[in-house]
Amino acid sequence: LAQHGGGPPYYWVGKAKLDRGSYRVRLRGGSEAPLCQRFAVKGRTAPRPQTEGEVWPTRRSWDRDYENLYSVWISTLFDAPEATTWHGFHSVTQEADRNILFDHLGLAEDSGKGPNALNMTPDCADGPHFFRAYFAWKLSLPFGYHRCRFGSLTGAPKCADWTTNEGVAPEPEKKPKQAKLAKAEDDATPKLADAGALATTTDAGADAGDPEQARKPERKVPFIRLTEPRDPPTREMTRFLALVKNEINARSLRTDFADSVTDLYPVPLTREALRPGTVYSDPYGHTYTLVKWQPQTKEQAGVLLAVDAQPDETINIKRFWRGNFLFSPLGKIDGHGFKAFRPIVIQEGHDGEPDRLDLLSNWEVSVARGYSNYSPEQEGFDAPGFYGRMEQLINPEPLSPVLAYKELHRALHRQLKQRVKEIELAQEYLRRNPKETIDMPRGQAIFRTTGPWEALSTPCRDLRLLVGIDALRDFPEQVIRVAPQPDVLRKLLSRLHEAWSRERHISYTKSDGTQQQLSLFDVLQRATNLELGWNPNDCPERRWGAPEGSEEAKSCKANAPDEQRERMEAFRHWFAHRYSCG
């Protein structure tokens, strides 16, 4: 056996080259009776021809067996240490030892070479949808997504216009002018997939628990025919993923917990529910997909690892901690938290009607065999309650205040090392384009746009960094309040912080090419300056908060235009108050 993993789901992975025929696999452990499973290896059959507008055919519904397999695939595909980075999702799937679905379609789709090679570059919001779509494509499972309008101070985003693998909207470059992309900064409502189409939008309410009120998305948008003669499946899949990337954004995942017209539904905070493949959407516009639970030992704290995608097209392994997984007590408004993909099933047609794809509502999920995991409980958590529950799951044996504080220092240090890479990417771009000034969007559009600004600016990432700094600063008082000897613990934590923050360092490349070393202590002193460190047009010294007039700042050669600096300063309060960036 090549790999095994603790659950749920529990799994063992073995690889073998087999000829056609019948086989039996036996799993034996300890004194337990062996488990046996028979299976057959068959020859390839010709794929069923795709119908009009179909990216791939649907042959089966989602159920618990396929959900378990999805969890195993995610866990093995991203089985890597914290801080591992790849460039593009395709660079992960091209590793045959990781990907149990490597070239599963027999098209050399994961070879990385030739006309059938896939190129997949999700960003922060649509990473989970890319993973789900790739898996569904390989196994002829259904996949779909909604386009969602913005939320407001009184409610979470609402969604409509369901697109699936059996019917796709026009490709981004072919959209009529009337049908603006949902990512456009002036777009406040979902647009029709076709300018002449009629779409029915359902304003879903609290339908959980009542089958009569479980509303379904209407599919009245006519889907266009894909090009004839048909392109290779990998090319059509690439176009489909480009459509997903254009139309999925942070609000697609931050939908109300009671809404059934959504791509995902909320789950309880339990080990059973938080499986690999479960998605976390935070109030700052970022998403993570859970990968692996590393159990707590006597020597080491437990770790929950997840994978995310970034606008710079990197795929990264990160740990659960307050500086990554941000939580707000305004759950009912923002709709963020842990969620699972809503099952899509095949509904048999009656009276001559064709079969159709259907989403399970919250109520249907709550009673479905193999699921029964719909839960809005996260709405009731404040931030301390949420992080307290997660800490109990990650470390069933409570950590000592000293070990917990040390883990916070370690996690923040990891985040700073990642920021070094992000700023260096922007500097590489500017060195290749020395005469270019990257346009800065206006207002909240700095958080949601496309092009070089999205890839190279760091407003959302810096907000998460600032929240992580807050978490480190606030920790001592949180534990001191309940300590039997508060003064003793305060002095101990202060002494340890002084040592830990000065012994952990990062190093960044200055404008003159030399290296500048900063300790974690130095960075903490610059938190206010980092509120304006997200513009890629600024020199790295300014982005790292170098004090004006300091020796470190003297090498700065380029800054954002004055007009951009003025708008940044006017927007500083957004970062000072740690507002959402979604």
Q: Tens digits of per-residue pLDDT, 208-237?
A: 334 334 344 444 333 444 556 678 889 999
Q: Please, is 289 exposed, middle or buried when counting C-beta atoms within 10 Å of its C-beta (0-12, 13-18, 19+)?
A: buried
Tell me the β-bridge partners of 309. Answer: 315
Q: Tens digits of per-residue pLDDT, 150-175?
A: 777 667 889 988 999 998 533 334 33
Which residue bears the tokens 């898996």?
135
| Both tokens assigned to 106 | 């027999």
Q: What pLDDT is stored for residue 271 in this prediction?
A: 96
| Both tokens assigned to 350 | 């009656």
Mean pLDDT, all residues of the chain: 86
| Both tokens assigned to 205 | 């309410």
Contact 277, 289 (CB under 8 A): yes
Mean pLDDT of the region 255-279 = 97
Contact 541, 553 (CB under 8 A): yes
Higher pLDDT, 545 or 447: 545
Q: How far is CA 420 from the centre of its chain?
A: 21
User: Which element (helix H / strand E) includes 68?
Assistant: helix 64-77
Q: What pLDDT is stored for residue 214 in this prediction?
A: 39
Tell me the β-bridge partners of 314. Answer: 87
Of 311, 565, 286, 263, the closest CA to residue 449 belongs to 311
- How far is residue 94 from each of residues 6, 73, 86, 104, 109, measured CA to CA in Å? 25, 14, 11, 12, 9
Q: Tens digits of per-residue pLDDT, 387-444?
A: 999 999 999 999 999 999 999 999 999 999 999 999 999 999 999 999 999 999 998 8
Report the distance separating Cα 260 and Cα 205, nearest Å: 8
Contact 199, 161 (CB under 8 A): yes
Q: How confident is the model at residue 325 (pLDDT cuts 50, 70, 90)?
A: very high
| Both tokens assigned to 115 | 């006309």
Q: Which amino acid is at 35?
A: L
Which residue bears the tokens 């559009």?
445
Mean pLDDT of the region 485-511 = 97
Q: Tens digits of per-residue pLDDT, 549-576?
A: 999 999 999 999 999 999 999 999 999 9
Q: How far is CA 351 from the centre of its chain?
A: 42
Contact 375, 268 (CB under 8 A): yes
Of 188, 136, 139, the closest CA to residue 165 belongs to 136
Residue 83 φ/ψ region, left for φ over 0, alpha for ψ in the -120 to 50 degree band, beta for the rest: left
Report the distance separating Cα 458 and Cα 286, nearest Å: 12
Q: What pLDDT is stored for residue 48 in this prediction?
A: 61
Mean pLDDT of the region 4-25 = 89
Q: Out of 82-96, 210-224, 232-246, 499-513, which region has the weakest mean confidence (pLDDT)?
A: 210-224
Report the distance separating Cα 362 and Cα 337, nearest Å: 16
Contact 458, 535 (CB under 8 A): no
223-259 in b/e burial notation, b at 16+ Cβ within 10 A? beebeeeeeebbbbbbbbbbbbbbbbbbbbbbbbbbb
Mean pLDDT of the region 502-531 = 98
200-210 in b/e burial notation, b at 16+ Cβ within 10 A? ebeebeebbee
Please, what is the end-to-end C-alpha distance for the chain in angstroms? 43
| Both tokens assigned to 263 | 């791509």
Report the distance separating Cα 237 and Cα 171, nearest Å: 11
Q: How far is CA 159 from the centre of its chain?
A: 19
- How far is residue 75 from each of residues 42, 108, 139, 282, measured CA to CA in Å? 27, 23, 17, 21
Report the distance separating Cα 550 and Cα 147, nearest Å: 49
Q: What pLDDT is stored for residue 208 in this prediction?
A: 37
Backbone angles phi, psi at 507, to 5 degrees: -140, 130
The yes-or-no verdict on residue 3 having pLDDT over 90 is no
Q: Tens digits of per-residue pLDDT, 340-384?
A: 999 999 998 887 788 889 999 999 999 999 999 999 999 889 888
Contact 463, 471 (CB under 8 A): no
Tell me the β-bridge partners of 318. Answer: 306
Q: What DSSP designation does 349 have?
A: P
| Both tokens assigned to 228 | 């004839």
| Both tokens assigned to 439 | 């346009």
pTM of the shown model: 0.85
Contact 319, 34 (CB under 8 A): no
The yes-or-no verdict on residue 184 having pLDDT over 60 is no
Q: How far is CA 372 from the centre of its chain?
A: 24
DSSP SS3 for 10: coil
Which residue bears the tokens 């690892």?
305
Report the distance separating Cα 282 and Cα 311, nearest Å: 16
Of 525, 480, 301, the closest CA to residue 408 belongs to 301
Which residue bears the tokens 């985003």?
157
**CA triple 259-265-271, angle to 5 deg:** 150
Q: What percent of the chain has pLDDT over 70?
A: 85
Alpha carbons within 13 A on the beta-carbon side of 70: 28
Report the distance separating Cα 577 and Cα 378, nearest Å: 23
| Both tokens assigned to 307 | 């994978």
Higher pLDDT, 332 or 271: 271
Residue 319 φ/ψ region, left for φ over 0, alpha for ψ in the -120 to 50 degree band, beta for the rest: beta
Q: What pLDDT is stored for residue 370 in this prediction?
A: 94
Alpha carbons within 13 A on the beta-carbon side of 3: 19
The yes-or-no verdict on residue 183 having pLDDT over 90 is no
Report the distance separating Cα 486 and Cα 84, nearest Å: 39
Mean pLDDT of the region 284-305 = 93
Report the distance separating Cα 245 and Cα 122, nearest Å: 6
Mean pLDDT of the region 282-290 = 89
Q: Please, is 40 exposed, middle or buried when counting C-beta atoms within 10 Å of its C-beta (0-12, 13-18, 19+)?
A: exposed
Q: Tens digits of per-residue pLDDT, 186-198?
A: 333 333 232 222 2
Of 243, 241, 235, 239, the closest CA to residue 108 belongs to 235
